[in-house]
Amino acid sequence: METMLRDRRAALLLVGPALLIYSLIVLVPVVWSLVYTLFEGNVLSGFQFVGFQNYTLLVRDPSFWQAFAFTLKYAVVVTIGQVGIGLLLSLLYVFYLGKASGLIRTLIFFPLVLPTVAVAQLFSKIFEIAPQYGLVNSLLQGVHLDGAIQPWLGQGGTAFWVIVIMDIWRAMGFYAVLLFAGLVEIPGDIIEGARVDGATGWRLVRYIVLPLMTPILFSSLIFSVNGTLKVFDSVLALTGGGPGQTTTPLTLSMFNTAFSNGQYGYGSTIATALAIMCLLVTLLIFRSARRDVA
Amino acid sequence: MSQILTGRVHETKRSVPTVRAKRGIPTRKLLTRAPVWVLIGLLLVVVLYPLLWMLLSSFKTNAEFSLQPFWALPSALHWQNYADAWTSGMSTYFLNSVLVVFPSLALILLISVAASFALEVMLWRGRNGILLIFLAGIMVPLQMVLLPLFTIYFQTGLIDTRWALILTYTAFGLPLSVFLMAGFYKAVPRAVIEAAVLDGANIYQIFYRVALPMVANGLVTIALVQFFFLWNDLLFSLTFISSDSNRTIQTGLLNFTGEHGSVDWGPTFAAISIAVIPTLLLYVVLNQKVIKGLTAGSVKG
């Protein structure tokens, strides 16, 4: 009876279009990109084989390391912020709001669906200084903290934090829902039992709730790190990588190298470094999660 | 790891620990609760106020921006801002986005629904391997494919056309859609398929008449999730589109604020609102479906 479901011709016909377009536009270019790392040039000037020169260039390139450091710092800070605040929110939903949390969950999730470019334009207006003060500077003026008024996006140090705040603002509600889903899976009688045994407040969370949430916590960390290491839209739309190179992540550095300087080979090398970085970090979190659970 | 999520997010509503099932909260407890409600109020202000501020600002005249404090309400609904934004480019960008996003969505649905049926319902050697290859695509950083794709589109003359975006959007929409769709097919009872086989339906009829109607709900979810990814896309549009008349909404908005952003605040806020409003409306109407879909699809970085 199952012979029909084993019809290879039908299977091929159904899966064929997907496989074809996916191979041509995703798989082949990935391999192609790896080949590009051994060449230099671009689509207009033609390509030249240079061996491993791009890789040696990468290791010695200070602007690569600057972008690398920014990416890492940004990913660590934003991941901690997104997952950390998400965790606090999820605890709030379950232990304080209970069944009433639906509406609040929905509202706090909201910013995630908005286009990053639009949100970034909004934030650049919020932190604007010229020609007029934005929301933040106006508020500071309003409470007579004129000394604190500054060009938030015009300085590398503060611009970093504006990007961080924006991306935490965008995604905290998302991680809250993700972790909430893990939290409600914990059987109520385990919590009740722990309460009867005298575990309350922080101790209850630390020794009972968190250990039971480990799998979903680590998944959230992996999603967040993978998303933040690839940050592009937020930075481009908010600061354009500036002032100077101070807020340029690897993705933007790759983009500029390829399209402003016309160096496809070197651009691909940066992209490869980024891909390896994502893979390593994911494996690292995955392994530490395994050890923790076991 | 991904299975953990897709399996469970759908059940968020049940089994909230019955910690506070007792009726009638005593006054003392109400007092200790007060700080929590203040905190929640603050949170909602932080999340919602920027959006409210955006909408309000989109109705202000330039004079109001320079003379009134930032949090002031607009004196009247100055619709002219929307007209200005719409006529100085936003209409083109909006239309371009519609013209690439919807064909891409249709292709994604059509292709992934067929592929995941073959991968999940049918039985043949190698199907697990192919499913795995699709899943790997979810993790690929887009930067890895940008330059080869640019070269391909440049050589084939597709650069700076809608086709470049439609092809790319479709291909990159597939991994997640196939993955989610396979999950929906998995929920179709095997007995239903077997009964259809016994009734003499051929494999295409089983696909089209039996399995497809049972995963219709999944189609809506996937269309929603992909809509947000495609409508909000910046990188591909920035890379493959060069002429202003072909720009999509996000690259167009960047261009618009680049030109008008520092002077004409009213139209700029109107332009931002135009880019935001479709996502806002969808979320207001279908938020529970959106939340389920996006959390199930969270494997995408």
3-state secondary structure chain B: CHHHHHHHHCCCCCCCCCCCCCCCCCHHHHHHHHHHHHHHHHHHHHHHHHHHHHHHHCCCCHHHHHHCCCCCCCCCCCCHHHHHHHHHHHHHHHHHHHHHHHHHHHHHHHHHHHHHHHHHCCCCCCHHHHHHHHHHHHHCCCHHHHHHHHHHHHHCCCCCCHHHHHHHHHHHHHHHHHHHHHHHHHCCCHHHHHHHHHCCCCHHHHHHHHHHHHCHHHHHHHHHHHHHHHHCCCHHHHHHCCCHHHCCHHHHHHHHHHHHCCCCHHHHHHHHHHHHHHHHHHHHHHHHHHHHHHHHCCCCC
For tokens 């470049």, name the residue: B164
> What's the total number of domains in chain B?
1
Tokens 């009867």 belong to residue:
A196
Residue whose entry in the numeric block shows the structure tokens 């990007």: A163
User: At residue A262, what are phi and psi to the nearest 5 degrees?
Assistant: 70, 25
Instruction: Please give, rounded to a whole number of angstroms, the shortest distance from the CA of A49 to a CA of chain B.
Output: 16
DSSP state letter for A21: H
CA closest to B113 among chain A residues: A14
Q: Which of A85-99, A201-215, A238-252, B22-36 has the lowest mean pLDDT?
A: B22-36
User: Residues, chain A, total?
Assistant: 294
Nearest-CB residue to A1 (from B54, B174, B198) = B198
What CATH number belongs to A62-293? 1.10.3720.10
Instruction: Note the pLDDT of residue B24.
Output: 53
Query: Residue A194: CA atoms inside 13 Å, Cβ hemisphere, count?
Result: 19
B209/A contact by beta carbon, under 8 A: no
Output the CA–CA distances (angstroms, integers) from residue B38 to B34, B46, B71, B221, in the order listed.
6, 12, 21, 35
- What pLDDT shows up at residue B73? 84
At B240-299, the pLDDT tens digits run: 999 999 999 999 999 998 888 777 888 999 999 999 999 999 999 998 888 888 888 765
Of B65, B111, B268, the CB nearest to A132: B65
Residues of each domain in chain A carrying CATH 1.10.3720.10: 62-293
Structure tokens given for B278 = 């479709």
**What is the pLDDT at residue B26?**
62
Indicate the pLDDT class of residue B25, thresholds 50, 70 and 90.
Answer: low
The whole model's pTM is what?
0.88
pLDDT value, residue B20 = 46
What residues of chain B lie within 8 A of the CB of A274, using their CB?
141, 143
Inspect the interface and report whether the beta carbons of B152 and A29 lie closer than 8 Å.
yes
Given a cut of 80, whether residue A36 has pLDDT beyond it is yes
Average pLDDT, integer, range A46-60: 88
Q: Which residues contact A284 (CB under 8 A, 6 or more apart)?
A: none
State residue A75's pLDDT score: 95
Residue type, B140: V
Write out chain A residues lying below 8 Å of B283, CB-based.
110, 113
Would you call B265 an interface residue with chain A, using a CB distance cutoff of 8 Å? yes
pLDDT tens digits, residue range B74-128? 888 888 899 888 998 899 999 999 999 999 999 999 999 999 999 988 888 888 8
B41: closest chain A residue by CA: A104
Task: Find chain A residues with C-beta within 8 A of B126's C-beta.
Answer: none
Look at residue B6 and tell me whether its pLDDT is greater than 50.
no
A180 and B301 in contact by Cβ < 8 A? no
Of the candidates B257, B244, B137, B113, which has an alpha carbon nearest to the alpha carbon of residue A237?
B257
**pLDDT above 70: residue B140:** yes
pLDDT tops 50 at residue B2: no
Nearest CA in chain A to B301: A227
Residue B93 domain flag: yes
B251 neighbors B259 (Cβ within 8 angstroms) = no
Across the interface, whether the CB atoms of A219 and B202 are under 8 A apart is answered no
Give the range with max mean pLDDT: A209-213, B154-158, B195-199.
B154-158
Containing A46, the helix (H) or strand (E) segment is: strand A46-49
Asked if B231 has any chain A CB less than 8 Å from its own CB, the reply is yes
- Kindly list the distances between the CA atom of residue B249 and the CA atoms of A251, B96, B237, in Å, as whole numbers in the listed order: 21, 7, 9
Q: Write down the pLDDT at residue B29.
A: 66
Across the interface, whether the CB atoms of A267 and B130 are under 8 A apart is answered: no
Is B270 a domain residue? yes
DSSP 8-state code for residue A246: T
DSSP annotation of A205 reads: I
Q: Which residue has 């500054």 as its token pair?
A: A150
> Would you call A278 and B139 a contact, using CB atoms and an 8 Å cutoff?
yes
At A208 the pLDDT is 84
Residues of A in contact with B235 (CB under 8 A): 232-233
How many CA atoms are closer than 13 Å to the CA of A119, on its beta-carbon side?
Answer: 26
| CB-based contact A72:B179 (threshold 8 Å) | no
Q: Compute the nearest-CA separation of A191 from chain B (Å).
A: 8
Residue B76 counted as domain residue: no
- B122 and A99: CB-CB below 8 Å? no
Nearest 5°: the CA angle A94, A216, A287 is: 150
Question: H or E segment at A124?
Answer: helix A116-126
Cα–Cα distance between A58 and B93 in angstroms, integer?
Answer: 38
Question: Does position B181 have pLDDT exceeding 60, yes or no?
Answer: yes
pLDDT of residue B252: 94
- Domain hosting B106: range is 82-296
As given in the structure block, the two tokens for residue A275 are 């891909």
B36 touches chain A (CB under 8 A): yes
| Chain B residues closer than 8 Å to A174 by CB | 294-295, 298
* Residue B29, domain member (yes or no): no
pLDDT at A34: 93
Supply the ipTM of this predicted assembly: 0.90
- Kindly report the nearest CA distance between residue B94 and chain A, in angstroms: 13
pLDDT tens column, A164-218: 999 999 999 999 999 998 888 888 888 888 888 887 778 888 888 888 888 889 8
From A26, A113, A218, residue closest to B172, measured CB to CB: A26
Q: What is the mean pLDDT of chain B?
A: 85
Check if A214 contacts B (Cβ < 8 Å). no
Would you state the pLDDT for residue B14? 42
Amino acid making up residue A126: I
- Residue contact B144–A138, C-beta within 8 A: no
Residue B286 sits at the chain A interface (C-beta within 8 Å): no
- Residue A69 has a pLDDT of 95
Instruction: Give the nearest partner residue to A110 out of B70, B71, B283, using CB atoms.
Output: B283
* Residue B38 counted as domain residue: no
Query: Mean pLDDT lowest for which of A6-10, B68-72, B114-118?
Result: B68-72
- For residue B124, the domain's CATH number is 1.10.3720.10
Instruction: List CB contacts (< 8 A) between B151 and chain A.
Output: 32, 43, 264
Q: Give the pLDDT of residue B102.
A: 97
Q: What's the pLDDT tens digit per position in A95-143?
A: 888 777 889 999 999 999 999 999 998 898 889 887 778 888 888 888 8
C-alpha A220/C-alpha A86 separation (Å) is: 10
B71 vs B52: CA distance, rounded Å: 10
Nearest-5° Cα angle at A81, A240 to A244? 20
CA dihedral A23, A27, A29, A31 (to 10 degrees): -130
Give residue A73's pLDDT: 95
With an 8 Å Cβ cutoff, are B71 and A138 in contact?
yes
Of all helices (H) and strands (E), which one includes residue A79? helix A62-92
Residue B272 to residue A121, Cβ atoms within 8 A: yes
Of the partner residues A97, A227, A270, the one whose CB lies closest to the CB of residue B301: A227
Nearest Cβ partner for A177 among B203, B265, B295: B295
Q: Name the residue with tokens 């095997």.
A: B190
Residues in chain A with CB shorter than 8 Å from the CB of B53 are 122, 126, 135
Average pLDDT of span B207-220: 90
Distance from CA of A188 to the nearest CA of B (A): 4
Tell me the pLDDT band of B5, cut-offs 50, 70 and 90.
Answer: very low
Q: How far apart are CA A158 and CA A151, in angstroms?
A: 8
